[in-house]
């Protein structure tokens, strides 16, 4: 019982500290909240294979699971701090100081951190120690002689609390719990309330054509031709979505250029805008996976901005930096080969959402997101691969990563049961910057059959496809493969996403009854 209370004292000290830190971080910088700071550091330090495993195993829940794990480990260690405090209060205090110190170091080690990022951890330290002392002093010591003397209360000269009522401890514990919940909720509210600035999107000087008729009206269950922003996949290393202030945001252009310069959002918005339909894919997308989305982007041609700065020497890499210090490298050759690489400010007719990179992000058609789609962009640096490496390059991912031709079956869903009769097998296929020329489906051990293709929007966009099927009762295997416009078949060899994207044929099993 006494042990339990000591352990609980440690846990509540941590809970109170974490909550206090979260509250302060809500005002200063949400990412510096102790658990989040440690979580982000864990993300950066996690070896690539483990990260791949986590993404494959947990998908978009990977962040929640990571934060949950950090919390559980912290609470377990805090219980230990409480038990140590039973032996000697100073030991417990030392342990809490150590834990919060680690959180502070993690917050300070973020690429863009200043000294103020350490404040939430310091607050957590102060509150954690105070709560530990408060609660440990209230742990009632039973009057059995074997347990006396009570080291805890005499070691620091505090009055003996032997016999302190059970209510004293329980009341204090409940009070700490309630205050912690309030503080954590306050921090959460405050972090979310940082208002997103509305910007006025200019009209494109070079607009995209209206989208052709979507097959979704005809083939139930197929992906819509354009992915709604709310359904668009999200992939990034951020536990807290950066909230960028549009008024103070700048885009810097530096490195191997003749005239480095910096521009405001208003200056960027005043440049001629292009509007393009482009399908993005994440290199972590497994065969048949959902890390792919098609949207209409509004932005400034990337070369228009780079040309203002000129070139000095022979750079071969465009290194782009996000507001949180995250970096992406894009081959300069690709940026300059005439494709519609852009600094996007609009997505599907609205300003970028916070999750998709407000106020500005890169979009490079044909390349996986990790080498061309920097969100929360703030700097473009002309450099060389020999001189500088971006975040994922340092973690051994490919430097030049064109999107591999691929097809996905949307309907019928894998392992689903469908009614016998005439239905459609349908989905999407993509071969960015080459265009999809043909999609074939194979049913059981039958021949590859050519499907009907939906409208071609442009070579950087995906294509819907479907095959009418007279489905007979039983278990069936459906496979799909795509060809690009030059007739090249997608790779059939199975490959993992690391280091340059997955490949292989998607095969689904369905039951017809
Ligand atoms: N700042 C920043 N930009 C980033 C990333 C990131 O982690 N941080 N992830 C990249 C990856 S891996 C992909 S696939 C795309 C995803 O963009 P989306 O979340 O808008 O779909 O963003 C890219 N841009
Ligand atoms: Mo990605």
- Could you report the per-residue pLDDT of 250-283, keeping only the tens digit for each? 999 999 999 999 999 999 999 999 999 999 999 9
Burial of 124 (0-12, 13-18, 19+ CB in 10 A): buried
Co-location of 239 and 187 in the same domain: no
Whether the predicted pLDDT of 142 surpasses 60 = no
Residue 153 pLDDT exceeds 50: no
Instruction: Kindly state whether residues 167 and 242 are assigned to the same domain.
Output: no
Confidence band (pLDDT; 50, 70, 90) for 152?
very low
221 shares a domain with 187: no
Does a structural domain hold residue 306?
yes
- Looking at the domain assignment, is residue 35 inside a domain? yes
Q: How far apart are CA 269 and CA 199, in angstroms?
A: 9
CA of 413 to the centre of ligand 2 (A): 24
Residues near 279 by beta carbon (within 8 Å), at least 6 away in sequence: 292, 293, 294, 430, 432, 460, 461, 462
Residue 438: φ, ψ to 5°:
-160, 145
Cβ 391 under 6 angstroms from ligand 1: no
Would you say residue 299 lies in a domain? yes
Q: Is 235 in the pocket of ligand 1 (CB under 6 A)?
A: yes
- Which residue's structure tokens are 């051994």? 396
Which tens digit of pLDDT belongs to each residue from 450-498?
A: 999 999 999 999 999 999 999 999 999 999 999 999 999 999 999 999 9
Q: Whose CA is nearest to atom 1 of ligand 1?
A: 375
Residue 7 lies in a domain: yes
- For the domain that residue 375 is a member of, what is the CATH number? 3.90.420.10
CA 122 to chain centre: 27
**Does the Cβ of 377 fall within 6 Å of ligand 1?**
no
Q: pTM for this one?
A: 0.89
- End position of a domain, from candidates 394, 417, 439: 394
CB 84 within 8 A of CB 91: yes
Final residue of a structural domain among 394, 410, 428: 394
Rounded CA-CA distance 296/457 in Å is 11
Q: Is the CB of 374 under 6 A from ligand 1?
A: yes
The yes-or-no verdict on residue 307 having pLDDT over 50 is yes
Mutate to test the pocket of ligand 1, among 44, 111, 112, 235 (most ligand atoms within 8 A of CB): 235
Q: What is the pLDDT of residue 487?
A: 98
Q: Please tell me the distance from the alpha carbon of residue 438 to that of residue 90, in angstroms, as a whole number.
A: 71
Establish if 174 belongs to a structural domain: yes
262 and 356 both lie in a single domain: yes
State yes or no: pLDDT of 421 exceeds 70. Answer: yes
Between 114-118, 316-320, 405-409, 433-437, the lowest mean confidence (pLDDT) is in 114-118
Same domain, yes or no, for 259 and 181?
Answer: no
Same domain, 188 and 292: no
Q: Which of 52, 230, 293, 373 to mutate to test the pocket of ligand 1 (most atoms within 8 A of CB)?
A: 373
Question: What are 165-204's pLDDT values in tens digits?
Answer: 567 999 999 999 999 999 999 999 998 776 567 899 999 9
Number of structural domains in the chain: 2
How far, in Å, from the CA of 180 to the mean position of ligand 2?
36
- Mean pLDDT of all residues in 339-366: 97
Q: Is the peptide bond before 359 cis (omega within 30 degrees of 0)?
A: yes
Same domain (yes/no): 187, 229: no
Task: Give the per-residue pLDDT at 155.
Answer: 42
The answer to whether position 430 is within a domain reads no
- CA 363 to centroid of chain Cα atoms: 17
Dihedral over alpha carbons 114, 119, 124, 126 (to 10 degrees): 140
The per-residue pLDDT for 191 is 85
CA of 482 to the centre of ligand 2 (A): 21
Q: Is the dihedral of CA 247, 376, 23, 132 positive or negative?
A: negative
Residues 170 and 116 in one domain: yes
Alpha-carbon distance of 501 to 497, in angstroms, equals 4
* pLDDT mean across residues, the chain: 93
Q: Environment class of residue 196 by beta-carbon count within 10 Å: exposed (0-12), middle (13-18) or buried (19+)?
A: middle
Q: Which domain holds residue 78?
A: 2-193
**Last residue in a domain, options 336, 359, 394:** 394
For residue 310, count other CB atoms closer than 10 A to its CB: 13
Reply yes or no on whether the pLDDT at 368 is more than 80: yes
User: How far away, in angstroms, is 369 Cα from ligand 1 center?
Assistant: 6
In terms of domains, do 264 and 313 share one? Answer: yes
Opening angle at CA 84, ends 81 and 90, nearest 5: 90
Interatomic CA distance for residues 432 and 437, integer angstroms: 11
Higher pLDDT, 264 or 146: 264
pLDDT for 193 equals: 75
Are 189 and 219 part of one and the same domain?
no
Å from CA of 135 to ligand 1 middle: 45
DSSP-derived letter for residue 461 is: S
Rg of the chain, C-alpha, whole Å: 28
Q: Are 232 and 181 in the same domain?
A: no
Please indicate, yes or no, if residue 330 is contained in any of the structural domains.
yes
**Statement to judge: residues 156 and 245 lie in one domain:** no
Stretch 370-392: mean pLDDT? 98
Residue from 63, 352, 370 whose mutation best tests the ligand 1 pocket (most atoms within 8 A of CB):
370
pLDDT digits (tens, 9 = 90+) for 203-223: 999 999 999 999 999 999 999
Find the ligand nearest to 278 CA. Answer: 1
């Amino acid at each position: 019982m006494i042990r339990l209370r000591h352990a609980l004292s440690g846990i509540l000290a941590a809970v109170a500290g974490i909550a206090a830190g979260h509250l302060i971080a809500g005002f200063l910088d949400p990412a510096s909240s102790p658990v989040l700071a440690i979580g982000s550091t864990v993300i950066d330090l996690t070896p690539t294979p483990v990260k791949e495993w986590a993404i494959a195993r947990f998908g978009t829940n990977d962040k929640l699971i990571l934060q949950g794990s950090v919390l559980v480990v912290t609470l377990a260690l805090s219980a230990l701090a409480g038990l140590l405090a039973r032996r000697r209060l100073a030991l417990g205090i030392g342990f809490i100081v150590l834990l919060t110190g680690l959180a502070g170091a993690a917050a300070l080690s973020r690429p863009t951190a200043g000294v103020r990022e350490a404040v939430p951890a310091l607050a957590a330290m102060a509150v954690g120690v105070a709560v530990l002392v408060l609660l440990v002093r209230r742990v009632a010591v039973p009057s059995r002689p074997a347990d006396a003397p009570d080291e805890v209360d005499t070691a620091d000269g505090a009055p003996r609390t032997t016999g302190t009522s059970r209510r004293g401890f329980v009341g204090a514990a409940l009070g700490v719990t309630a205050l912690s919940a309030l503080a954590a909720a306050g921090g959460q509210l405050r972090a979310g309330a940082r208002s997103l600035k509305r910007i006025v999107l200019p009209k494109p000087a070079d607009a995209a054509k209206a989208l052709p008729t979507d097959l979704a009206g005809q083939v139930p269950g197929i992906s819509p031709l354009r992915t709604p922003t709310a359904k668009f996949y999200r992939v990034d290393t951020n536990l807290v979505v950066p909230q960028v202030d549009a008024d103070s945001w700048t885009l810097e252009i530096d490195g191997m250029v003749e005239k480095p310069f910096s521009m405001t959002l208003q200056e960027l918005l005043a440049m001629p805008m292009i509007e393009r339909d482009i399908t993005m894919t994440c290199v972590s997308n497994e065969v048949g996976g959902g890390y792919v989305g098609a949207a209409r982007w509004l932005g400034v041609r990337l070369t228009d901005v780079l040309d203002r700065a000129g070139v000095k020497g022979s750079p071969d890499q465009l290194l782009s930096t996000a507001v949180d210090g995250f970096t992406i490298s894009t081959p300069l050759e690709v940026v300059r080969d005439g494709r519609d690489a852009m600094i996007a400010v609009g997505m599907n007719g609205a300003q970028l959402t916070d999750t998709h990179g407000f106020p500005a992000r890169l979009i490079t058609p044909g390349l996986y997101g990790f080498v061309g789609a920097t969100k929360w962009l703030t700097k473009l640096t002309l450099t060389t691969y020999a001189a500088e490496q971006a975040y994922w390059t340092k973690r051994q991912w490919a430097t030049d990563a064109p999107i591999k031709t691929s097809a996905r079956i949307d309907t019928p869903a894998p392992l689903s049961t469908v009614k016998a009769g005439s239905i459609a097998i349908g989905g999407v296929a993509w071969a960015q910057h080459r265009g999809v020329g043909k999609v074939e489906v194979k049913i059981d051990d039958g021949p590859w059959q050519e499907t009907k293709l939906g409208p071609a929007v442009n070579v950087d966009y995906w294509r819907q496809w479907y095959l009418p099927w007279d489905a007979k009762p039983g278990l069936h295997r459906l496979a799909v493969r795509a060809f690009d416009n030059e007739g090249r078949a997608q790779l059939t060899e199975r490959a993992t996403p690391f280091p340059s994207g997955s490949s292989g044929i998607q095969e689904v099993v369905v039951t017809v009854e």
